[in-house]
Structure 1
Amino acid sequence: MPGAGTISVAVFAAVLPAKASTGALLVLLLVGDLFAVRSYRAHADWPTLRRLAPAVLLGVLAGTGFLAVAGDHMVRRVIGAVLLALVAVPLAGRRAGRGRQDGGALPGAEPAPRRGRLARLRAGGYGVLAGFTTMVANAGGPVMSLYLLASRFSVAMFLGTAALFFFAINLAKLPFSASLGLITRESLLLDAVLAPAVVVGALVGRPLARRLPRAVFERLVLVLTVVAAANLLL
């Protein structure tokens, strides 16, 4: 259920020290990723993953540098600000979608010869932002969701590409997080206690998502994310 992860980010950062929360949550995200990859891997778009990889790695390195110098208070504030900013992403996407429906091409649309270059620039920008936000706050999901939606993937291809993307990026983040001291014996013990709940969530998530109206789910996620982010900022 895309978007629900931002709520977990805010809850973990509110209960645990902000920097420590990123390491504890990372391991649990990987447990969930295993279920997503198992369900949707056949539908992944590999050219998109290869195109995004260099920019995402750059963003992860930038996020690692930030975590190395930032204090816990700063990380907490940045996580809150990132979450609030990411709430605006789906709203902006909706407005852009209405603009296309109401008026065809958006004003100022680029000529066809420039679309290839703009597509590469867009992939690079989204990749860097996704890498940074996922390293600092495990909150790259909304960024990638907007990029994949803009690429007009089918639902199956969207889920497959996102599943493999986040499994690979979360796996790549493990050594960086460990080197920063964010994954410890204590955090792994906490993960061992919470992992069964992740498994339960993965098993019930798919049938539950089919019954929950999409509009209701999106509004609920946005409201809860704003509340959680405001709590971190205040």
Structure 2
Amino acid sequence: MDMMTHLTGWEFAALACAALLVGFSKTAVSGANTVSLAIFAAVLPARASTGVLLPVLIAGDVLAVLTYRRHAHWPTLWRLFPAVGAGVVVGTLFLLWADDGAVRISIGVILLVMSGVTVWRRRTAETGEPAEDTGSRAGRLKARSYGVLGGFTTMVANAGGPVMSMYLLSAGFRKLGFLGTSAFFFLIVNVSKLPFSVGLGLVDGDSLLLDAALVLFVVPGALLGKWAVHRIDQKLFERLVIAATVLGGLQLLLR
């Protein structure tokens, strides 16, 4: 099915806004693209939405890496990647089994769970709990746990952002280190997911044609995020993101 010709003007506008938000989230508020996920899954079939969204996310990742490349912490990245790879494999096996309804319900549940994770992460940050030593045994175990969960959620629903956000903040990352490390993390992970998504039929010529149009909206979103990162009221924005994500998750479950 040709997605471009079957979309109404309002549906394309919604996807364009979601693509703009992807760019904004990559350079300003990591994890905010869960709203984009909900929009894509509402406009497109659930399985197809994950394939269309992936190249849009990669475009945002490239822009984020270009912006914050000097602030990445590579020891943290190398610690996470093996567990993330295992999670991606588990997510791929799930997608081989799941039909569109199961994927839609899974995305809805993941959105709601990630919303709860984000609320918990914000409250933990506000209490000023000390950061855990990522090199300790407990720190390595935590990295593996978050890595597997992040790999699974990013493969099934492109929703690994809140999981990784919570891990990086709990590890004591400041804003620029957080953005630089997460930028490289998601670029590498999302590019590694491409062969799996192509093999599952989620990314094909039809989806890439739609992506070519949507990527144009990622760039202004990233520029807006770069401008706003030092000016944005973070707490208010996160509350709006959480509310929109919960509504999106409920919409998918009740659809």
For the criterion TM > 0.5, the same-fold answer is yes
From 205, 211, 217, the counterpart of 1:191: 211
Partner of 1:152: 172
From 92, 114, 125, the counterpart of 2:145: 125
Partner of 2:22: none
The separation in 2 between residues aligned to 1:42 and 1:194, in whole angstroms, is 28
From 151, 156, 161, the counterpart of 1:136: 156
Displacement of 1:210 in angstroms is 3.1
From 32, 51, 75, the counterpart of 1:4: 32
Residues 99 and 42 of structure 1: CA distance in aligned 2, closer, same or farther (over 3 Å):
closer
The separation in 2 between residues aligned to 1:94 and 1:4, in whole angstroms, is 14
The CA RMSD measured in Å over matched residues stands at 1.7
Partner of 1:47: 75
Partner of 2:101: 73
For structure 1, list consecutive stretches of 5 or more residues without a partner in the other structure.
Answer: none
The separation in 2 between residues aligned to 1:176 and 1:15, in whole angstroms, is 23
Residues 172 and 204 of structure 1: CA distance in aligned 2, closer, same or farther (over 3 Å):
same
The separation in 2 between residues aligned to 1:145 and 1:37, in whole angstroms, is 16
For these two proteins, the number of residue pairs brought into alignment is 224
Displacement of 1:3 in angstroms is 2.4
Larger Rg: 1
For structure 2, list consecutive stretches of 5 or more residues without a partner in the other structure.
Answer: 1-28
Partner of 1:162: 182
The alignment partner of 1:211 has SS state of coil
Percent identical? 54
Partner of 1:227: 247
From 155, 171, 179, the counterpart of 2:191: 171
Partner of 2:235: 215
Query: Deviation per CA, 1:120-171, whole angstroms, max 9, x where unpaired?
Result: 1100000000000000000000000000001101211111100000000000
Query: Deviation per CA, 1:35-88, whole angstroms, max 9, x where unpaired?
Result: 100011111111101000110000000000000110000000000000000001
Displacement of 1:191 in angstroms is 0.4
The separation in 1 between residues aligned to 2:175 and 2:148, in whole angstroms, is 24
Please state if 1:201 is matched with 2:229.
Answer: no
Please state if 1:95 is matched with 2:123.
Answer: yes
CA contact (8 A) 2:59 2:215 kept: yes
Please state if 1:23 is matched with 2:51.
Answer: yes
Partner of 2:88: 60
Specify the code of the residue in structure 2 equivalent to 1:189.
L
The alignment partner of 1:129 has SS state of helix
The separation in 2 between residues aligned to 1:135 and 1:86, in whole angstroms, is 15
Displacement of 1:94 in angstroms is 3.3
Specify the code of the residue in structure 1 equivalent to 2:93.
G
The separation in 2 between residues aligned to 1:159 and 1:98, in whole angstroms, is 19
CA contact (8 A) 2:125 2:170 kept: no
CA contact (8 A) 2:59 2:218 kept: yes
